[in-house]
Structure 1
Amino acid sequence: MFLICRNFDYENFLCTLLLPNDIRTSAFAIRAFNIETARVQDSVSDPRIGQMRLKFWEETIDNIYNGHVPKQPVASELYRAIKRHTLSKRHLKRLILARSNHFSTSFLSLDEMESYAEESTSPVYYMLLEALGIKNIHADHAASHLGKAQGLTNMVRSVPHCAERRLAPPLPQDVMMEKGVSQEEIIRGSRSDNTRDVIFTVAARASQHLEKARSIKTNLPEPAFRIFLPGLPVGQYLEKLRLLHFDVFDAKLQRRNSLLPLALYWNRFRMKF
């Protein structure tokens, strides 16, 4: 679990290291499961094969809750996490269903993109709150907004990767049509003002949700702050993108922030995200 998270989700890996000892292993299991379902789309060229792999995970979750654990490392660790913290099955199923329903990276509208961002990201935070035993409507509200912010930001960050593989960018068609930008332009790495306007529109929505999540912090129980630490790298990326005038293809955005571990530690101490 440790290696999967470090190799494929480095920022969340760093955040997970700063969680309390009694839930850290379970958090890695939850993150690893999310990575496994998220990577299905990138690892297959045939959508039918991808759906079969997602079906495997759906059946695996059913089997785990029935006490039958497949001999698969992520499934085994997830089983222990579920038993230790009584995690809700519905959150795991939502992660799978989100990927199954949107196997194409194309979204008709920004609202549809936002909905996918929440369905594919917020359940992770709900389960981490469950693992900590936090039942708080404000924490759930913050988790929903942070999930939307992080999900939207992740899709913006994936645009250069999609262009490199000549895949349709995960951007809303309504916004692209409004700004007069085609998918082919994005795939070619267009850095035009119109392309930047598309990126700005999505990034602005992500920023709104991040600020909303942060505005709830005064109502959050103290342990919840560690769970929401991923809001820091999300905010850092969005700010860097703004300073680069929303040029998503700028190489500076691809560089790893060597000071992030220190910033995360300092923010955990200050109870900020």
Structure 2
Amino acid sequence: MGSANYHARIRFHDGSPSWLLRVLRVASFAVSLPSSLVENLVLSEYATLKFLETITVPAPRALGYGICRPRTDHGTGVSFILMEELRGTPWIDKPGVSSGEASENEKARVWRGVADILMELEKHPFPKAGSLCLQSSEIEVSAVASDRFLVLTPTGPFATSTAYYTAFAEQYLELIVDGQLYTEHPINAYLVYRFLRDNAIQLVSQEENQVTERFYLKHVDDKGGHLLVDEQLNITGIIDWQMARIIPRHEAFGPSLVTADMASLCNGKSSFSPNDLVLADILRRRGLSDLTSNITDEKDSRKSRLCAYATTPYGAPAPHPSQITATDVNGARSYCAGLLQKFDSPSYVLQTFIPASAKDAYLAIRALNIELARIPDLVSNPTVGALRMQFWRDNLTRTFAGTPPKEPVAILLHTALQSLRSRHPGLSTSVMKGWFMRIVNIREQYMDNRPFTTIDALETYAENTYSTLLYLTLATIPLNSMSTDHVASHIGKATGIAAILRGLPLLAFPPPPNHHSNNAAFSGALGGSVGGRQGAVVLPLEVMAEAGVREEDIYRQGADAPGLRDAVFTIATRANDHLITAGEMLKNLKQGEDAGHAFEHEGEDGHQYAERGISGKSQIDELEMGFGVLMPAVSTRLWLEKLEKNDFDIFKPELRAREWKLPWKSYLAYSRRTI
């Protein structure tokens, strides 16, 4: 019966066959199963058993089910399935008719029964891959039922084999990055599954590449313990269909666990066993050579189906896009907005000034920035952090190629890019992809919280992160304007410098580690620190030296460290200078004058501009189009003013509180077109 369920036997006084009450053990895994997953597994197994009743595959008869909801659990308080108990002995030790292990002739009797079952399942194809489930009292192919969905949303159904294999590779990649799988060798595992994902199309047979594919039911845990036999070794039934799937033909009728040499398989030897060959011979004698080829195809194994001559590079997009629905998009939009509300409240407030056509892009861009910024706080060592950064590079590559993974930020960004391309056919987004990669790269470079050597290095960091966020948002309007980019560059630098100052207390005195982190279990294996996080001071070293402040004094004395306020003042002054410069530029541009100084990034990637007049818009028109994107200047100015009022004591709690004046201050600034 396995260890994933409780079973209660129900006996009847009249001698009728006994029943089983089957209840999923919701706390039998690493964490408690969410209720939605429990319901999915119960409904899927019930639907599978009801389907099997319509064909000649021996399985328990499903008598009823209950879902742990008011008026749907029949008063039990749990989700359950009520089924008939099958008689028989598990074929796990391959017992013989008389005693000891079964002879080869006796085993052949069982393999003939297995062949009968395969032949029957082959008669009943399905149009999609997934798992059976009850949908409005009808049995349909729905999302895949699997315990691998402890932290992921069940996906499916899939119309093609390629989409099916790609989705599972993506889920394993996310679980590896999250520290739930392959904790001893995460990098090797990540590369293997990324290779499998990128080459999913090569796992598909020629038959499965046809326009209309067919899929078949398979008991994915088809080892001997779930195969029951009577005293004469006749198969009486197959039990435990909880995670059964509808899968591609080549996999459904490929090598199974029931015929495997499990000792060799667990030791890494995945060649075919004598039992595989006997089963294949039985099918061949019955004229089913196509099923025989599935079992004995040398390209297949139970461990993986890996093409040895793949040519697709690791970073290439998957060949088929995920099936993204309106529900997925709405969920992604809510997820991204929730991230902003929780971790970046100024950006959440200022979204109201973003043009409606660019709102989804804005949410996705800002949400990605949060995801990247949080990586050092969520991982316990640089190795896992690098994996997460690569995960986002891969996601961006796929999203810009039109094949986004089912990840909220990628889904919303894909939707925004589709909208942008539909509104402006022929518009290239390659520059935007380069800007995204720039943000990922610079975030990874400073992921270890190393200090900046000079204040110019801090400015470069701010340009490559916060200024680039503004460039990206302007590009989604779309607006390609040197004057607006120039103003955005200064505002982004001011915002980035202020962000480093604001984060200093949390970096110097980090909170206790997240004891619920999935990475804690294997941080030691990769050289990370399990016991706690070490503080860091990232202020520019040259500024600290000039102010006479020492890192150890900050750890010991906090706000009272000698020279700290002077250093903070120097850095804050640089941020304020950029805001002053941006304000003066706006005045000049609105009067039809030049900005007052050259744009230092003109000519770089993404900053090539047409001559004035070709676009048909004046500088004032361009500023009007993109002014809402420049509003972070208001939130940055308010924070710098608060810092000054607190005498540049960066440890004051007020500096980490939400700015209650931002909504109306930003409204006034936007109405007057001032910053």
Bin for the TM-score computed over the shorter chain = over 0.9
Question: 1:27-106 maps to which residues of 2 (within 5 A)?
Answer: 27-85=362-420, 87=429, 88-105=432-449, 106=451
Under a length normalisation based on structure 1, what TM-score does the superposition of the two structures give? Answer: 0.94
Q: Tell whether 2:546 aligns with 1:178.
A: yes
Aligned to 1:167: 535
Cα distance in 2, alignment partners of residues 140 and 109 from structure 1: 24
Aligned to 2:497: 152
After superposition, what is the alpha-carbon deviation per residue over 1:205-262, rounded to whole angstroms, capped at 9, x for unaligned? 1111111122221425212221111101101111121222211112222232222112
Cα distance in 1, alignment partners of residues 555 and 405 from structure 2: 40
Decide whether the 8 Å contact of 2:559 with 2:650 is kept in 1. no
Alignment counterpart, residue 563 of structure 2, candidates 187, 194, 202: 194
Cα distance in 2, alignment partners of residues 193 and 185 from structure 1: 7
Decide whether the 8 Å contact of 1:33 with 1:78 is kept in 2. no
Cα distance in 1, alignment partners of residues 400 and 668 from structure 2: 38
Worse overlay, 182-191 or 168-177: 182-191
CA-CA distance at 1:269 after TM superposition: 1.2
Q: Give the 3-state SS of the residue equivalent to 1:216 in structure 2.
A: helix
Aligned to 1:23: 358
Cα distance in 2, alignment partners of residues 18 and 187 from structure 1: 40
Decide whether the 8 Å contact of 2:549 with 2:561 is kept in 1. no
Letter in 2 for 1:101: Q
Under a length normalisation based on structure 2, what TM-score does the superposition of the two structures give? Answer: 0.39
Task: Tell which structure's C-alpha radius of gyration is larger.
Answer: 2
Structure 1 residues 66, 256: closer, same or farther in 2, change over 3 A?
Answer: closer
Moved over 3 A (4+): none
Cα distance in 1, alignment partners of residues 384 and 490 from structure 2: 32
Cα distance in 2, alignment partners of residues 160 and 252 from structure 1: 12
Cα distance in 1, alignment partners of residues 354 and 555 from structure 2: 38
Cα distance in 2, alignment partners of residues 41 and 108 from structure 1: 20
Worse overlay, 47-56 or 248-257: 248-257
Cα distance in 2, alignment partners of residues 197 and 11 from structure 1: 27
CA-CA distance at 1:82 after TM superposition: 2.3
Aligned to 1:228: 630
After superposition, what is the alpha-carbon deviation per residue over 1:50-79, rounded to whole angstroms, capped at 9, x for unaligned? 111001111111111222211111111111
Q: Tell whether 2:489 aligns with 1:120.
A: no
Q: Tell whether 2:566 aligns with 1:208.
A: no
Q: Which runs of 5+ in 2 are unaligned?
A: 1-335, 422-428, 511-533, 590-619
Decide whether the 8 Å contact of 1:150 with 1:231 is kept in 2. yes
CA-CA distance at 1:192 after TM superposition: 4.1
Letter in 2 for 1:181: V
Cα distance in 1, alignment partners of residues 659 and 372 from structure 2: 26
Letter in 1 for 2:667: Y
Cα distance in 1, alignment partners of residues 636 and 628 from structure 2: 15
**Greater share of residues in helix:** 1
Cα distance in 1, alignment partners of residues 567 and 337 from structure 2: 36
Identity of aligned residues (%): 33
Decide whether the 8 Å contact of 1:226 with 1:271 is kept in 2. no
Decide whether the 8 Å contact of 1:179 with 1:194 is kept in 2. yes
After superposition, what is the alpha-carbon deviation per residue over 1:68-97, rounded to whole angstroms, capped at 9, x for unaligned? 211111111111122323542111111101
Alignment coverage as a number of residue pairs? 273
Aligned to 2:474: 129
Q: Which runs of 5+ in 1 are unaligned?
A: none
After superposition, what is the alpha-carbon deviation per residue over 1:75-122, rounded to whole angstroms, capped at 9, x for unaligned? 111111223235421111111011112223211111111111111111
Structure 1 residues 252, 67: closer, same or farther in 2, change over 3 A?
Answer: closer
Decide whether the 8 Å contact of 2:490 with 2:578 is kept in 1. yes
**Greater share of residues in strand:** 2
Decide whether the 8 Å contact of 1:85 with 1:130 is kept in 2. no
Cα distance in 1, alignment partners of residues 560 and 420 from structure 2: 47
Decide whether the 8 Å contact of 2:345 with 2:658 is kept in 1. no
